[in-house]
Amino acid sequence: MKIMLAGGAGYIGTHTAIALIEAGHEVFVVDNFSNSCREAVRRVEKITGSEVRLYEADCCDYMSVRMIMSKEKPDSVVQMAGYKAVGESVAKPISYYRNNLDSTLTILEVMAECGVKSIVFSSSATVYGEDNPVPYTEDMPRGRCSNPYGWTKSMIEQILEDAAAADPSLSVVLLRYFNPVGAHESGLIGEDPQGIPNNLMPYITQVAVGRRDKLTVFGGDYDTPDGTCRRDYIHVMDLADGHARAVDYAAAHKGSAIFNLGTGIPYSVLDMVNAFSDACGHPLNYVIGDRRAGDLQDCWADAEKAGRILGWKATRGIAEMCRDSWNWQRNNPKGYADSEEDSDEEDDEE
């Protein structure tokens, strides 16, 4: 199949491109590089030996999306184009609602015009909200989210379910990501956040490589064995493989379906710090600080449904997650920044 990866130049998108290509699909990327770069897609081409056409366009821009989709005529869209920083979403809610909802609505409108009948959406475990008990199962109601980012995911899930209910020929798959970490085992691509990382793993890797002084662990007084929060960390290549299964599922099933993409195994912040120290071979400088506003104590998946229906299961453990995150950061201390300076525009299709 031919797959359009909307927002495909980012961390999850580039890894997903590899999994899709390795599963035999043809992939093209649409991205405005608001939090990503061309170099990452070039490296996907290097890893896979396949061409990945790259369109620089904003998925909120109806004319651009229509031009691209009518030219390429994809069989399916994987919609990952959106802002994702929780703290920023609290400061800039309008921008988050505008961008994340508009990009999805625009893609849905253009899909209807171009006869594209299948969409896989990057959702998040954050839609379970504050009230559901762990482990989360897909049949739990979407909960009260603690920030606008989470609400955009929750609202878009609703929009996509409504769209599927109204059009019996449409296939919608909602993938609820838990905490993606790690990198492709080549060390050529990985997570490269702009500015100070919000998420735990890129913060850890930047401390380990000397870009930051120390990690602050947000809260040591939670009701957990070591006092720190627990999450369901999942290797990004396992997550990427989940997308390949989801695209196949969407091709074969109409209507909407939800799948958790997690391991089902919780690890605490200190578990991650310790596993990472083992991977990089030296202790990590950290202090225990205050709790971060809006953090849940516990968040992990019941991963049974994806196993049963998609035939997908995460296979990489915490040691591989840390090893591959470290391999990427050690080989690319400044992320993609160095090679960006040498980049040119030659593979831009527009």
Q: Is 203 in the site for ligand UDP (CB under 6 A)?
A: yes
**Judged by CB, which is closer to ligand UDP: 54, or 229?**
229
**Token digits of residue 110:** 């253009």
Strand pairing report for 171-177 and 179-181: unpaired
- Which stretch, 34-42, 127-135, 194-202, 308-316, contacts ligand UDP (CB under 6 A)? 194-202
Q: Round to whole Å and give the CA distance between 242 and 235.
A: 11
CA distance 63 to 60: 9
Selected range binding ligand UDP among 72-80, 196-204, 325-333, 342-350, rule: CB under 6 A: 196-204
Beta bridge mates, 233: 179
Strand positions, DSSP E, the chain? 2-6, 26-31, 53-56, 76-79, 118-124, 171-177, 179-181, 215-218, 230-231, 233-235, 255-261, 267-268, 286-289, 298-299
Q: Which stretch binds ligand UDP (CB under 6 A): 148-156, 209-217, 247-255, 258-266?
A: 209-217
Q: Which of 295, 298, 304, 347 binds ligand UDP (CB under 6 A)?
A: 295
Is residue 229 close enough to count as binding ligand UDP by CB under 6 A? yes
Q: What is the largest CA-CA distance in the chain?
A: 56
Q: Site residues for ligand UDP, window 121-180 (CB under 6 A)? A: 179
Rounded to whole angstroms, what are the CA distances from 270 to 145, 182, 231, 284?
A: 25, 17, 11, 11
What minimum distance in Å lies between the beta carbon of 118 and ligand UDP? Answer: 28
Token digits for 68? 């691209």
Check residue 315 for interaction with ligand UDP (CB under 6 A): no
Closest distance to ligand UDP from the beta carbon of 91 (Å): 16
* The one catalytic residue among 11, 128, 149, 177: 149
User: Is 327 in a helix, a strand, or coil?
Assistant: helix
Least separation in angstroms between residue 121's CB and ligand UDP is 18
CA distance 103 to 98: 8
Report in angstroms how near the CB of residue 267 gets to ligand UDP at its nearest. 10
Q: Which residue has the tokens 């449409």?
A: 170
Figure out which of the listed residues 69, 175, 207, 217 binds ligand UDP, where binding follows CB under 6 A. 217
Q: Min. distance of Cβ 130 from ligand UDP in angstroms?
A: 13
Of 8 and 202, the one with the shorter C-beta distance to ligand UDP is 202
For residue 7, what are its two tokens?
A: 């927002």
d(CA 15, CA 239) in angstroms, rounded, equals: 9
Tell me if 269 contacts ligand UDP by CB under 6 A.
yes
Among 35, 137, 186, 198, binds ligand UDP (CB under 6 A): 198
DSSP category for residue 114? H
Least gap, CB of 333 to ligand UDP (angstroms): 19
At residue 328, the 3 state secondary structure works out as helix
Contact window for ligand UDP (CB under 6 A) among 76-84, 195-203, 234-242, 332-340 = 195-203
Q: In this structure, what token pair is assigned to residue 146?
A: 């603690």
Please, what is the minimum distance in Å from the beta carbon of residue 214 to ligand UDP? 10
216 near ligand UDP, rule: CB under 6 A? yes
287, 151, 272: which is closest to 216 by C-alpha? 287
Q: Which residue has the tokens 């070591």?
A: 226
Q: Is 199 in the site for ligand UDP (CB under 6 A)?
A: yes
Stretch that binds ligand UDP, among 53-61, 199-207, 243-251, 306-314 (CB under 6 A): 199-207
Closest-approach residue to ligand UDP (CB) = 229
Instruction: Tell me, yes or no, if 149 is annotated catalytic.
Output: yes
- Which amino acids are annotated catalytic? 149
In the complex, which residues of this chain contact ligand UDP (CB under 6 A)? 179, 198-200, 203, 215-218, 229, 231, 269, 292, 295, 299
